[in-house]
Amino acid sequence: MDYRIEHDSMGQILVPKNKYWGAQTQRSLENFKIGTEKMPKEIINALGVLKLACARANNSLKPEKMTAEKLGAIEKACLEVICGKLKDHFPLAVWQTGSGTQTNMNANEVIANRGNEILGKDLLHPNDDINMSQSSNDTFPTAMHISAVLSTVNGLIPAVKKLIDTFLKLEKENQGIVKSGRTHLQDATPIAFSQEISGWRASLEIDVEMIELSLIPLKGLAIGATAVGTGLNAPNGFDAAVAREISEITGVDFKTAENKFHALTSKGELVNAHGALKALACDLMKIANDIRWLSSGPRCGLGEITIPENEPGSSIMPGKVNPTQCEAVTMVAVQVMSNDQAVSISASQGNFELNVFMPVCIYNYLQSVRLLGDVCISFEKNCVCGIKPNCEKMHANLHNSLMLATALNPYIGYENAAKVVHLAHEKGISLKQACVTLGFLSEEKFDEYFHPEKMI
């Protein structure tokens, strides 16, 4: 590999000739050979958006420093970062400085060197031009908020809404089917299958509402705070100008954070937003478990629904098929719940004027968004859209349920109905036989009062 010599305030260092990054990126690459987790692509995209917005704001506020020539080259380079064309030039690990400084400098160096290549001359400096009016301490938390909002709005929410639509379709298709309800994993009173599905659908709808509400505080941006929140070296109005530019670029209404001292050191907005992601994970866990238990069998389980058979389930048991999509959902849910703990602990580590657990905080948040979005798409496509009711099994279970005796409460009272249940269970007879044997109702009156399908 061919190398070139780059330098920073600590001296010279060799950098691969075919890479746009500079000295500080190279030092981080060599000093933090930890794990395989790289800075998420969503953060790199957000930094491209941010650096573009900052250059435009600087051009409007101090054009003598950010000239039209510089801006033109920076814009072209930033757009290449945003579209992912320069993804191979962002090699840094999540496990680096807790402020994300090295990734900020990675962006500064790549945009400067690519911009100079576009210009055909060395005009742009990573710190003086690309990082103009900024600090890593305000750019990285800004990129965190941008990436969190955009990935949630553009990736996760549409995926959940697609799953909601499919549940709504199933709900309409299964009107009129009555089955046994279950509480405490025990038989309970009847429920319409469509009602059961509606519970799944409504849970996801409420989750989306909570997620959307949680994004509102995340739209406040730290940019303009510079090193410690005072805005040192940033021109008046820079913060608001950058927020306007970011809103224009992304189509999302971002604003400048009201208190920059809070914006640098607190990550409460991310904790709040990830809490909404965790709520979604909890509901997906519940729904996936319901579906795999209802489809258990095919002969020795509940067997009240069937789900698509996607692949063989065993290397030893011929013909076995497993509820693998449900299992994937539950594993993602476990990971998201675990990520919530990492986000929470990271957010608690704001010391004085800066939080220095930011890379691990946003890594876990973005992983949760990505996993939840992907698993919702997979679950909808490979499982939920193919759910079918086993009406015969539902009917048999319904009419074999002792909890149908609840319908007799108004006529013979709770205690007498309980006696009917116990006798039917002990003797293995029907509720009707038990009720008549105990002398509580005649066969004719029992038939008049007892209609399971009307109990929903």
Active site residues: 184, 314
- In our burial notation (b when 16+ CB lie closer than 10 A, e otherwise), range 26-39 reads bbbbeeeeeeeebb
The 8-class DSSP code of residue 229 comes to: S
Cis peptide before 452 (omega within 30 of 0): no
- What the block records as the tokens of 449 is 């009062």
Query: Which one, of 227, 225, 261, lies nearest residue 243 by Cα?
Result: 225
Q: Is 93 helix (H, G, I), strand (E, B) or coil?
A: strand
DSSP code per residue over 265-294: H--HHHHHHHHHHHHHHHHHHHHHHHHHHH
The phi-psi region of residue 383 (left if phi > 0; otherwise alpha if psi is between -120 and 50; otherwise beta) is: alpha
Alpha carbons 59 and 189: distance in angstroms, whole number = 69
Q: How would you classify the pairing of strands 178-183 and 11-16?
A: unpaired
Beta strands in 154-219 (DSSP E): 178-183, 186-192
- What the block records as the tokens of 420 is 């009917």
DSSP code per residue over 94-129: SSS-TT-HHHHHHHHHHHHHHHHHHHTS----IIII
The 10 Å Cβ neighbour count of residue 100 is 27
CB 291, CB 330: distance < 8 Å? no
Alpha carbons 435 and 331: distance in angstroms, whole number = 47
Alpha carbons 110 and 124: distance in angstroms, whole number = 11
Q: Is 7 helix (H, G, I), strand (E, B) or coil?
A: strand
Query: Which one, of 70, 77, 36, 35, lies nearest residue 56 by Cα?
Result: 70
Please give the biggest Cα pair distance in the chain: 101
CB 249, CB 232: distance < 8 Å? no
